[in-house]
Amino acid sequence: MSKIDISIVIGGPQGGGIDTSSNMITRAFSYSGFPVISVREFHSNIKGRHSYVHLRVKDEKPKSFRYPVDVLVALDPDTIFEHFEDIGKGSKIIYDTEFETSDLSQARMIMRDTAQRIKNELESKKQPLNIKGVLNLMKENGGIPIGIPFSKVVTSVVSEGPATRYFNTLGASVTLSILGVDKDSTKSAIKDIFGNKEKVIEPNLKVVDSSYDYCETNGFKIRDLGKMPAKKVMLLTGNDGAAIGKIIGGLRFQTYYPITPASDESTILEEHDSIKWLEEESQNLKRGGVTVIQTEDEISAITMACGAALTGTRSSTATSGPGFSLMAEGISFAGMDEIPVVITMYQRGGPSTGLPTRNQQSDLLFALNTGHGEFPRIVMSSGDVEECIYDSIKALNYAQRYQLPVIHLIDKTLANTTEVVDSIDPDLVPIIGRVSPEKGSEIKRYSLNTENGISAMGTFGNNIFWMTGDEHDELGHVTEDSMMRDRQMEKRFRKIETARKEIPVSEMAQIIGDEKADITLVTWGSQKSLVIDILDDLSREGIRAKLLYLRMFQPFPSEFVSEVLKKSRKVISIESNMTSQAATVIRTNTGIEIKNNIVKYNGRHMTEDELLSAVKKIIEGKSEREVLRNGA
């Protein structure tokens, strides 16, 4: 068991600098040798509404999140109100003493329904409808409020500018000081975050000093954390991972229309569009950069990416549910015309605009069926940041190898989770090209002379050939001949069988944990790491279980999954949606129905505590279906 295991929530108004605070906390722990994982939760709002970062620190790489928190850092009164349920025995609540006079009725940025729930809770516990009331509730649950005069701590050392400017540094510094992170690490974090902006660094360092002094004087420090050997690592989100993988994998053309949580990937690509090369390997090669185009809509995004792909360029687009809906016709075209294109699909809460900034895994069945007509596609999913990197390379490879649309699913939680990645090794996934005809030759783009369904793909600029969304003959001209139709349909579908044979099963599904265990937890996407933690928790209580982790849904590893499930006594699916979509895919492909389901659809990331108790309830036979509801 991990010696260090600290959970933190730092919250404040959207646009109020909590990202800087969480960045400071993450870096300071990293410099002391303790890895951090963090995830960002926020409203669809630019300024004012409650947003927070949920962090966890362990002496080994943390994989999941947990409530109650050890420290709640409130940079505004709303944070205290919003997180009234996230406090347990010994939780520290760090807040500005000025908040103490805040009334719930003044917290206008709290959603009305949330405010009503808080009100009900306070009234039922006979508490006043203000911060004091909530703090009393928290104390009843074992919480320890630590009021700090934020302004005083700042103005005692910094006089220029408004004191509020430094509250995020203060919040992070107090947290770090209480948790026993040495001051040097905290100061290094400040220096690295603000780079060479001396004018900014200096006052912030002073605030670090005065925050540490304040905690010291008042005896807030819990312990000395000490230092572990720290090495250079990368701090990456899922969005970062996808962008990095794409660049390694040879992506040179990306299109997008802005949408949360997908467009961060494209802006990251824009920021890194001038690629740094491995000199030895590339000095004699034509090399350039990535061209990233913001389009007029997602219809344009997918069709433009297709157009670029036809010149031989590795191209892709990134979007989320509403944009993906608009792409349906273009994806169908890519299937029909055998265009290698990758669609990185960031799932968020639907239907419609839904919960635009919140997590969900409700587009799996849609991804499998997007677009009219029947055509082969690959649908794959990533579960952690490293997978985002390597899967993005693979997605580009699959698109080229099988000449079809590849839909790569990443969920919002993963997109916005920051993980420690030790290093990136591009050699893990070599680049696989497409079958190309000779340059300049006349080609039968859709030649039927192919056993595996793959025909040589000419490119515009090199070959003359035709393409049409209509059914076509080998040259790519329109045909309605009944026999040619059958043969082209069959050719296209042979590719998916080829893919099924060529792609190792381990790329499609994996068993993690005790293989012989007869309890099987089934999950996909961002719950992967969380469920691995749950396996440990269960084994500590003497319960043997394993994880069946799904990574590819088309082609689907039916035989493997079927074997695993047949040998299991109890199977529980765990998904962030309402209708257990992966379980549906399993049933469609194997005929096996998973009767026990854990679901969550409130848009917040699943946490260890809620999942563990749900899993145990089901294992004990007390329930068949559990709905998880954690999260502010």
Burial label, 126 (beta-carbon count in 10 A; 0-12, 13-18, 19+): exposed
Q: What is the DSSP string of 332-386?
A: HHHHHHT--EEEEEEEEE-STT-EEEEE----HHHHHH-SSS----EEEE--SHH
CB of 20 to another protein, least distance (A): 14
Nearest Cα to Cα of residue 577 among 508, 510, 632, 523: 523
Q: Does 276 bind another protein (CB under 8 A)?
A: yes
CB of 287 to another protein, least distance (A): 6
Q: What is the DSSP string of 162-223?
A: -GGGGHHHHHHHHHHHHTT--HHHHHHHHHHHHTT-HHHHHHHHHHHHHHHHHHHHTT----
CB of 275 to another protein, least distance (A): 5
Question: Position of tokens 């349909």?
Answer: 489
Q: Which of residues 21-50 bind another protein (CB under 8 A)?
A: 26-27, 30-31
Q: According to CB under 8 A, which one of 100, 273, 502, 507 is a site residue for another protein?
A: 273
Q: Which of residues 210-249 bind another protein (CB under 8 A)?
A: 232-236, 240, 244, 247-249
CB of 269 to another protein, least distance (A): 11
Distance CA 190, CA 133 (A): 35
Question: Which segment (258-266, 276-284, 538-546, 556-564) binds another protein by CB under 8 A?
Answer: 276-284
Tokens of 3: 């010696």
Q: Does 424 bind another protein (CB under 8 A)?
A: yes
- Smaller CB distance to another protein: residue 294 or 452? 294
Distance CA 365, CA 137 (A): 43
Residue 323 belongs to what H/E stretch? helix 321-326
CB of 8 to another protein, least distance (A): 18
Q: Which of residues 587-626 bind another protein (CB under 8 A)?
A: none
What are the distances in angstroms from CA 489 to CA 62, 278, 370?
47, 42, 18
3-state secondary structure of 110: coil
Interface mask toward another protein for 348-377; x: CB under 8 A:
------------------------------
CB of 299 to another protein, least distance (A): 6
Tokens of 310: 């036809």
CB of 474 to another protein, least distance (A): 14
Q: According to CB under 8 A, which one of 196, 274, 352, 482 is a site residue for another protein?
A: 274
Question: Which segment (141-149, 274-282, 366-374, 403-411) binds another protein by CB under 8 A?
Answer: 274-282
- Smaller CB distance to another protein: residue 198 or 280? 280
**Do the Cβ atoms of 410 and 388 come closer than 8 Å?**
yes
- Smaller CB distance to another protein: residue 238 or 350? 238
CB of 66 to another protein, least distance (A): 23
3-state secondary structure of 325: helix
Q: Which of residues 304-323 bind another protein (CB under 8 A)?
A: 304-315
Q: Does 197 bind another protein (CB under 8 A)?
A: no
What are the distances in angstroms from CA 452 to CA 342, 396, 555?
21, 19, 15
C-alpha angle 561-567-572 in degrees, rounded to nearest 5: 70
Q: Does 258 bind another protein (CB under 8 A)?
A: no
3-state secondary structure of 568: coil
Q: Which of residues 177-196 bind another protein (CB under 8 A)?
A: 192
Distance CA 447, CA 450 (A): 7
Bond into 351 cis (ω within 30): yes
Q: Does 523 bind another protein (CB under 8 A)?
A: no
CB of 168 to another protein, least distance (A): 18
3-state secondary structure of 414: helix
Interface mask toward another protein for 456-485; x: CB under 8 A:
--xxxxxxxxxxxxx------xx-------
Q: According to CB under 8 A, which one of 97, 114, 295, 539 is a site residue for another protein?
A: 295
- Smaller CB distance to another protein: residue 277 or 369? 277
CB of 378 to another protein, least distance (A): 19
Q: Which of residues 389-408 bind another protein (CB under 8 A)?
A: 393
